[in-house]
Amino acid sequence: MNLTLRVWRQKGPQDKGGFVDYPAKDVSPDSSFLEMLDRVNEELESRGEEPIAFDHDCREGICGMCSMMINGYPHGLEKGTTACQLHMRHFSDGQTITIEPWRVKPFPIVRDLITDRTAFDRIIQAGGYVSVNTGSAPEANMIPISKEIADAAFDVAACIGCGACAASCPNGSAMLFVSAKVTHLNGLPQGEPELLERTRRMVEQMDAEGFGNCSNHRECEVACPKEIQMRNISKMNRDFIRSSVLSRVFGTNGKS
Amino acid sequence: MSWVSTFYGSSIGKKTIVAVTGAIMVLFLIGHMLGNLQVFAGPGTATEPAKLDEYAELLRFEIGILWAIRVALITTVVLHIITVVKLRAENSAARGQNYAVRHYQRANAFSRSMFWGGLALFAYIVYHILHLTAGVAHANLFEHGHVYANVIRSFQQPLIAGVYVVATVCLYFHLFHGVVSLFQTLGVSHPRHLQAVEKFGHALAAIIVIGFASVPIGVLLGVVK
C-alpha cells in the first residue's frame, strides 16, 4: 500500500517546526508503524536527507518510548497498544497519516517526534519507591499478599510511563500516570507505611512540573496503551485528601 | 493552619474545593427547586395568601439567619468560580501547541462545556437575583413581598420565561458532569459503580432541571395564573 505521511519536523527545542509531507511507498500491511517509519527513513538517508527522529526501544510495547500522535490518536486508534505494536493493516491504501509529537508543556520537544519526558522521572524520584533496609534478600514468602491485592497492584504496575495520558488530556494533566504509580505502591504492604508521604510528594512534584488538572474528560483512559483505569485517580485523590487534610486535622497518621 | 494554603495550592486540593462547593450548591438547588414547586398550589384566596408567598415569608422569619445563609452561599459560589478560574489557567499553561489533528473519544459536550456553561450560569444567577430578589431587572413587573404575583407576571413574558428555560438547559449540562465528577474527585468512585453514578447524575440533573423549568413553562402554558 502507498501512503502519505504528514510528519512534524522540528530541528531542536527552539526551532519553530512545521509539517512536511513524505510518500511511503510499497508499505507491507504486516509491517509495524515503526518499521514503516524505518523504511521511510532509509529512503531519506539514501537521498542524503535528515531522517525523521522518533523515540523507540523495545518495540514490544513495554518500554514506553515510541510516543507519537497518529492521526489525532495517541499511539494510533487501536486500543491497548503502543505505536510500535500498531500494524499498517489498520490503515488503508492512499491514506494521509498525520504524525505529531506529544504536545504538553512539561514534555518539551527535543527534535521532530521526540519529547523529553524526564518530568515523569522526577515525579517517580519524589516518592515512587519503597524504603527498605539493605542486607541479604528477604525471604520471598515473608509478607503474604492476597491475590486481589497483587492483581490490583499489577494492573497499575503495567504503566510504562509513555505519557499518552498527559498527551491526550485536554487539560495536559498527568494524573493517570501519577495515580498509577501512587496506587501501585500504596496498595501493597511494602508501600503502605509511606502512603501519606508518597502521595503528597508525588502530587506536589506533578504540580511543580506544570501538568494540568483532571476534569474527568476520560480521554486518558482510552488513550492508555496499558488500559489503566481512572479509578486510580479517584484512589489517589482519596489518599491525597487523607494525607494533606485528615492527617493534619486529626493528627493521626491518616489511617482509618 | 499552613496546611490549608498548601492544600489549596495543590491540584487535588483545588479540585476538592470545586467538588465540595459544587455539592453544597446541588443541595441548595434541591431545596430551591422544591420551594418553587409551591407555585402550583395556586394564587391563594381572599383570606389566604398564596402558598409560595407564605413560604417566602417563612424564609424571612429571622433576617439575620437569612443573611448568614446568603453570605455563605455567595462565598460558596465565589470560591467555586475563583478556584475553577485558577485551575483553568493552570490547564491552559500545561497544554502545548494544539494538535493539527486530534479526535476526542470520550470528552463530550458535558465535560467540555463546564467552563463556559458555568460562566453562563453565573451570569444567569446574577440576572435572576436582580430580577426576582432585588426586583430591579424588571422593576415594572415587581412588587416586594408578592412572590407569586411577581413570578406569574414575569413568566407571562415569553422572553423572560425563555431565558429561564435556556438557563435550566445549561444547568442540566453543568449538573450532570459536575455530579459524576464530584464522586471521582472526592475519591469515592469505582468502575463498578460508574454506570450507576452516571445514571444518578442524569436522574438528579433531570429532576432538578424539570422542577425548575416547570415553573416558567407552566406559567407560559397558562397552567398557573
A253 pLDDT higher than 60: no
Contact across the interface for A72 and B13, Cβ inside 8 Å: no
Strand partners, A98: A6
d(CA A31, CA A27): 7
d(CA B224, CA A169): 48
- B225 occurs within a structural domain: no
Nearest Cβ partner for B106 among A212, A217, A236: A217
Where do the structural domains in chain A lie, given as residue ranges?
3-110, 117-250
Residue B16, chain A, CB below 8 Å: the answer is yes
pLDDT per residue as tens digits for the range A20-50: 999 999 999 999 999 999 999 999 999 999 9
d(CA A59, CA A82): 9
- B41 occurs within a structural domain: yes
User: What is the gyration radius of the CA atoms in chain A, in angstroms?
Assistant: 21
CB B201 within 8 A of CB B175: yes
Contact across the interface for A170 and B94, Cβ inside 8 Å: no
Reported confidence tier of residue B221, pLDDT bands at 50, 70, 90 = very high
Reported confidence tier of residue A252, pLDDT bands at 50, 70, 90 = low
Residue B12, chain A, CB below 8 Å: the answer is yes
- B23 occurs within a structural domain: yes
Residues in chain A within 8 Å Cβ distance of B107: 170, 217-219
- B174 occurs within a structural domain: yes
pLDDT per residue as tens digits for the range B171-201: 999 999 999 999 999 988 777 888 898 899 9
Report the pLDDT averaged over residues B66-75: 96
Residues in chain A within 8 Å Cβ distance of B114: 215
User: What is the gyration radius of the CA atoms in chain B, in angstroms?
Assistant: 20
B15 pLDDT higher than 50: yes
d(CA A85, CA A164): 15
pLDDT (0 to 100) of residue B189 = 75
User: What is the ipTM for the molecules in this complex?
Assistant: 0.91
Residues in chain B within 8 Å Cβ distance of A239: 187
Residue B144, chain A, CB below 8 Å: the answer is no
**Which residue, A98, A119, A128, A105, is CA-closest to A202?**
A128
Contact across the interface for B7 and A216, Cβ inside 8 Å: no
Q: Which CATH superfamily, name and number, covers A3-110?
A: Beta-grasp domain (3.10.20.30)
pLDDT per residue as tens digits for the range B120-164: 999 999 999 999 999 999 988 998 889 999 999 999 999 999 999
CB B11 within 8 A of CB B185: no
Q: Which CATH superfamily, name and number, covers A117-250?
A: Alpha-helical ferredoxin (1.10.1060.10)
Q: In chain A, which ranges are E strands?
A: 3-9, 18-24, 69-70, 73-74, 96-100, 109-111, 114-115
Domain that holds residue B44: 8-88+108-220
More confident residue, B222 or A52: A52
Nearest Cβ partner for A98 among B96, B101, B184: B101
Distance from CA of A139 to the nearest CA of B (A): 34
- B102 occurs within a structural domain: no
Percentage of residues of chain B with pLDDT beyond 90 = 79
Contact across the interface for B111 and A203, Cβ inside 8 Å: no
d(CA A215, CA A232): 14
- B103 occurs within a structural domain: no
Helix (H, G, I), strand (E, B) or coil at A101: coil
- B76 occurs within a structural domain: yes
**Which residue, B207, B212, B221, B166, is CA-closest to B37?**
B212
**How many other C-beta atoms are found inside a 10 Å radius of the C-beta of residue A188?**
17
d(CA A77, CA A69): 10
Contact across the interface for A237 and B184, Cβ inside 8 Å: yes
- CATH code of the domain covering residue B188: 1.20.1300.10
Residue B103, chain A, CB below 8 Å: the answer is yes
Distance from CA of A35 to the nearest CA of B (A): 23
More confident residue, B110 or B194: B110
Report the pLDDT averaged over residues B62-91: 96
d(CA B139, CA A135): 82
Distance from CA of B27 to the nearest CA of A (A): 21
Contact across the interface for B106 and A222, Cβ inside 8 Å: yes
pLDDT per residue as tens digits for the range A122-145: 999 999 999 988 888 888 888 899
